[in-house]
Structure 1
């Protein structure tokens, strides 16, 4: 099954195959839209054109983290490590502080925001070619923007910060900004679901690795020490969520499924506002651009998001 066929198939049913539609939008459709939009946003953190813009500001671009943190946090303003740690949740406080403590000495949030738009403009033009100016992309951007403008930002700091930014004029940049608002809206809701499940930041990663969402090595990129990871495994084992090998028990898998169910439900409102017909049209339009981003080879084959794993 091709990547595009798999995405369409994934949108046909939820985890149990019996999703309940809310306002005509099923949880499976909500999840499919995340699968389609996430790569359109995430290319920000991998495209060479964006790294060039980051380097021009003065950030170290030998690895992605020195630019990742300011580029993602800039909509919040010149905030410190504690607030970024709170909003990003699964990164270790030590890692956040390493990259945020002096981030705004290198460039102001306003300069970072301008640079990330320049970088995405260049990256999208390189990836999409002539299609960047196509009527299909403009239509997709208009639909995605309508959904993004319908997000409920209460209790969602990253979604609210991005939603407050001015909209760029070019349709392809509007598509990227809409994808960003929608993914941060979903992400903020995901953190609420983790809190309800009683999973602290490192436990959220350990429990996700335990169901095979990605390798432990990939999750360790979030900066937790071996001792912190081991202690979280012990806590989850005591709760009956992991077995002695560190693999999720039936209870552990059930809890993770509950987290994903709550995340999908909390991400539904924008798509209810857009409505089933226009949502279906957006899915149809996004397919080619999703394939183009994945085919670019810029994104890693394995991520901590566990797309297609849960």
Structure 2
């Protein structure tokens, strides 16, 4: 029940929050600040990171764990020379005010919705969620529609930590077994037993991102990803990748986001859950690859289509 409600809430809140990164009004405000709007990334990092203050590349990489640290360093901390975090926050508020007024067509009586969203935002635990905590520390706007947007932003910035992922390990193992014990993998119980030993290790990986999807209240699919570390790993499928790419693995893959597992239970196939999970895992990544076998044609096709996978 709670997983289904959480998914429904995400479908309602994420489109509202994400307008900040794509609306014409937001790009106009970013241009007024002096940002180059030929690319979405200068304004994206400015809008999203401003609540943290003038964060540098290490702080931003810790908060945006699915982004390549190399990519982040291209923009941080240089964006604060264009406009200070305070100036960015003021422009962010103007951008969302203009955006929501356009989208809502003047019907912006959001008083009750804003009150409920604030109650939800102020009830969450923000330990290990720097972006959620930083947005929660900002004063609530006077206008209800802006209050609603800020509360939604707090809620969407609350992400599972690696340690919390361990609390769902049994569900991940169940999905893994259902996904890989049948065709075309036929791992039987051996692969599942091997996977069961991995969550405790994976939870400590730097930059871990994990998505668990449920269908009709039942665990249906999960994906895990993290930035490939240096030196390039050995074992599993890594050795075959090194044979194919040679020395290019260090320049093409190290630092890029690596989708390590993408598992779909048979009862959930054909629902495009895999595509959505890949989209979530690879959001903002400059490079995203799926570590899998050549026979996983559907997964490889989805990764290439959605994330420019290698």
Q: TM tier, shorter chain?
A: 0.5 to 0.7
8 Å Cα contact 1:45/1:68 also seen in 2 = yes
Aligned equivalent of 1:278: none
2:13 aligned with 1:37: yes
Q: Which of 161, 164, 186 does residue 137 from structure 2 map onto?
A: 164
Q: C-alpha distance in 1, partners of 2:48/2:32?
A: 17
1:17-96 to 2 correspondences below 5 Å? 19=1, 26-96=2-72
Aligned CA distance change for structure 1 residues 188 and 157 (closer, same or farther; 3 Å)? farther
Which consecutive residues of structure 1, in runs of 5 or more, have no partner in the other structure?
Answer: 1-18, 20-25, 237-241, 250-301, 305-310
Give me the whole-angstrom Cα distance separating, in 1, the residues matched to 2:162 and 2:13: 16
Match of 1:223 in 2: 286
Q: TM-score, normalised by structure 1?
A: 0.60
Partners of 2:54 and 2:77 within 8 A in 1? no
How far apart, CA to CA, are the structure 1 residues paired with 2:25 and 2:163?
Answer: 31
3-state SS of paired residue (2:66) = coil
Q: Tell me the residue number matched to 2:156.
A: 183
| CA shift for structure 1 position 162 | 0.7
Deviation, structure 1 residue 156: 1.2
CA RMSD of aligned residues (A): 3.0
Which of 105, 114, 117 pairs up with 1:144? 117
Q: Kindly indicate whether the alpha-carbon contact (under 8 Å) linking 2:257 and 2:282 is maintained by their aligned counterparts in 1.
A: no
Supply the distance in 1 between the matched residues of 2:7 and 2:162 (Cα, whole angstroms).
Answer: 12
Q: Identify the match of residue 174 of structure 1 among 114, 129, 147.
A: 147
Q: Is the 8 A contact 1:41 1:180 kept in 2?
A: yes
| Alignment partners' CA distance in 2, 1:126 and 1:85 | 33
Question: Once the two structures are superposed, what CA deviation does each residue of 1:52-99 show, in whole Å capped at 9, x if it has no partner?
Answer: 111111101112111001110111110101111111111111111112
Structure having the larger proportion of residues in helix: 1
Look up the match of 1:296: none
- Larger % of strand: which? 2
The residue number in structure 2 matching 1:252 is none
Give the match for residue 213 of structure 1: 276
User: Which secondary structure state, in structure 2, belongs to the residue aligned with residue 200 of structure 1?
Assistant: strand
Query: Alpha-carbon deviation of 1:189?
Result: 4.2
Distance 1:208 1:97, change over 3 A: farther
2:74 to 92, 98, 106: 98
Structure 2: gaps spanning 5 or more residues: 166-198, 206-224, 228-255, 265-273, 300-304
| Aligned match of 1:239 | none
Q: Greater relative contact order (Cα 8 A, min sep 6): structure 1 or 2?
A: 1
Deviates more, 1:148-157 or 1:112-121: 148-157
Query: Quick check: which has more Rg, 1 or 2?
Result: 2
Q: After the TM superposition, which residues 119-134 of structure 1 pair with which residues of structure 2 at under 5 Å, given as runs?
A: 119-132=95-108, 134=109
Counterpart among 107, 110, 113 of residue 89 in structure 2: 113
Q: 110-119 or 193-202, which moves further after superposition?
A: 193-202
8 Å contact kept, 2:35–2:42: yes
3-state SS in 1 of match to 2:203: helix
CA displacement 1:12-62 (0-9 Å, x = unmatched) = xxxxxxx4xxxxxx2110111011001110000001111111111110111
Distance in 2, Cα, partners of 1:188 & 1:112:
27
Residues 182 and 215 from structure 1, CA distance in 2 versus in 1: closer, same or farther, beyond 3 angstroms?
Answer: closer
Residues 192 and 58 of structure 1: is their aligned pair in 2 closer, same or farther, counting only changes over 3 Å? farther
CA–CA distance in 1 between the matches of 2:38 and 2:52?
25
Cα distance in 1 for partners of 2:123, 2:62 equals: 24
Aligned residues: 210
